[in-house]
Amino acid sequence: MPQSADKVLDHAPLFREPEYKEMLENKRVRYECGHPEHLVTEIGDWTKSWDYREKNLAREALTINPAKACQPLGAVFAAQGYEGTMPFVHGSQGCVAYFRSHLSRHFKEPSSAVSSSMTEDAAVFGGLANMIEGLSNTKALYNPAMIAVSTTCMAEVIGDDLNSFIRQSREKGSVPEDYNVPFAHTPSFVGSHVDGYDNMQKGILTNFWEGQERVPGEGINIIPGFDGYAVANNRELKRMMGLMGVSTTLLGDVSDVYDTPSDGEFRMFAGGTGLEETRAALNARATLSMQEYCSPKTLDYVAGKGQEVAAFHYPMGVQATDELLMKISALTGKPVPDALKLERGRLIDAMADSQAYLHGKSVAVFGDPDFVYAMARFLLEVGAEPKHCLATNGGKAWAEKMEALFATSPFGTGCNVWAGKDLWHLRSIMATEPVELLVGSSYGKYLSRDLGVPLVRLTFPIFDRHHHHRFPAWGYQGGLNVLVKLLDVIFDKLDSDSDTAGVTDISFDLTR
């Protein structure tokens, strides 16, 4: 065998060795139906045809590779943004392992969360005993400042009542009477991770604000939303607010949670919005959400407490950042400082420098509704054409908003919005109406390979590249980062198409 203790091969070259190629071919023939290559090719080509596209887009009872995750993932992410908080998922261990691994693989950091470890008996008799013991164990083992409880499918199907269960757990002495245990019902079989994020944010604010008297102040609360770039984006928000001199509380700040240093100390709890800050946030003048579709219930609750509220769509690029800063200026009376105006001018200058390579480029975009809207808007700003915009968790209202966005620019002519569709739908769409770039998450990798369209990774999850989340996508500085990512992929494609010496290299340019 080619693998030995003296010469350990990485899996990429290892599986190209003759022994492994023979093993994999035998597996294909004996256990994977073993259809002839010509038939596989014939069927594969047909699945890229208009005939197959019509059948694919007509399906209703099946979802294939949705561009979304389930509610508890968003709830765990929201909870981790608060000081010393342990997310507690009332459900099976396997579900929680998925949430933790999904976040850890993206951020390359540990993702702490616990489970009530429900099994078959709990599915029959209810999970109260699991909740009582689980809360007690979590408090004893990890001593968090707060335990934030959410649910999975199992708990929701059998109808477990979190409010009642937590109250009975207090009565049994699992946690002290005055201990913070906010909760949110987050059934996995409806909505998506953005709904789970919203439900948990509302649950946490309800825990701290309900029954309290509001004393109106001048501060601003910001809800970042579910964001794979939250480490850098949250810091960019705080930097911009600091330049404006605005007192700001980020409700659910994971920037330090998912960016701990390697200095010999393990931090199970790092950073996060302080619990007393969260309580005091009731007195803020206004609460702004950076992602409208991550916060409808939370903003309704906040508005009911007397605060002004406003929602944005992932503030990326010139116009989106302008709107955010102007709203904050209007709320606080503080002007946008010259330092931010200079950053705006530099972004516009960079866009002008590179417009020849972006003008008219056709792009497919997929991801969460707010990200897709923001990305399409940025593409229109640079003269590109967001031909296909897909959000599996986008609804009719989002689709109408996208259509209105397309109508604001000549580059939006002929662009399409695909609400509720999945990535197998997108494959048919891109195969029949090709584009030059694909923007989304790592899950676009297979579309990129299959259809020969370069992928720009700009949203959660990014598993196969490292550290993208450490650089902002929001604000003028973030817009510059996004611009560079788009351009790098465009230039890489130009190079790969002209790298054959003496044949295609007449355009293998040193200077562009």
User: Each residue of 114-168: pLDDT tens digit?
Assistant: 999 998 888 788 899 999 999 999 999 999 999 999 999 999 999 999 999 999 9
How far from 97 is each of 34, 92, 105, 280, 461, CA to CA, in Å? 34, 9, 12, 34, 16
Are the CB atoms for 113 and 96 separated by under 8 Å? yes
Query: Which SS3 state, helix, strand or coil, does residue 48 take?
Result: coil
pLDDT (tens place) for every residue of the chain, 512 residues total: 677 788 888 888 888 888 888 898 888 888 888 788 899 899 999 999 999 999 999 999 899 999 999 999 999 999 999 999 999 999 999 999 999 999 999 999 999 999 999 988 887 888 999 999 999 999 999 999 999 999 999 999 999 999 999 999 999 999 999 999 999 999 999 999 999 999 999 999 999 999 999 999 999 999 999 999 999 999 999 999 999 999 999 999 999 999 999 999 989 999 999 999 999 999 999 999 999 999 999 999 999 999 999 999 999 999 999 999 999 999 999 999 999 999 999 999 999 999 999 999 999 999 999 999 999 999 999 999 999 999 999 999 999 999 999 999 999 999 999 999 999 999 999 999 999 999 999 999 999 999 999 999 999 999 999 999 999 999 999 999 999 999 999 999 999 999 999 999 888 999 99
Q: How many residues does the chain have?
A: 512
- What does the DSSP 8-state code read for residue 216? -
CATH architecture of 69-311: 3-Layer(aba) Sandwich (3.40)
When the candidates are 3.10.180.10, 3.30.70.520, 3.40.50.1980, 1.10.10.10, the CATH number that belongs to 342-496 is 3.40.50.1980
Residue 52 CA: distances (Å) to CA of 36, 63, 146, 346: 21, 16, 52, 46
**Which neighbouring-strand residues pair with 455?**
438
H-run or E-run covering 247: none
> Rounded CA gap, 45 and 41, in Å?
6
Task: List phi, psi (to 5°) of 475.
Answer: 75, 180
Structure tokens at 463: 């598993």
pLDDT of residue 1: 63
| Three-class DSSP labels, 93-125 | HHHHHHHHHHHHHHHCCCCCCEECCCCHHHHHH
Q: Contact, 328 vs 246, CB < 8 A?
A: yes
Does 69-311 match 342-496 in CATH topology?
A: yes
φ, ψ for residue 102, nearest 5 deg: -60, -45
Which residue in 117, 202, 134, 131 sits closest to 167, CA to CA? Answer: 131
pLDDT per residue over 178-229, tens digit each?
999 999 999 999 999 999 999 999 999 999 999 999 999 999 999 999 999 9
**Domain boundaries, given as residue ranges, for the chain:** 69-311, 342-496
What are the tokens at 155?
């708990």
Q: Which residues are catalytic?
A: 153, 157
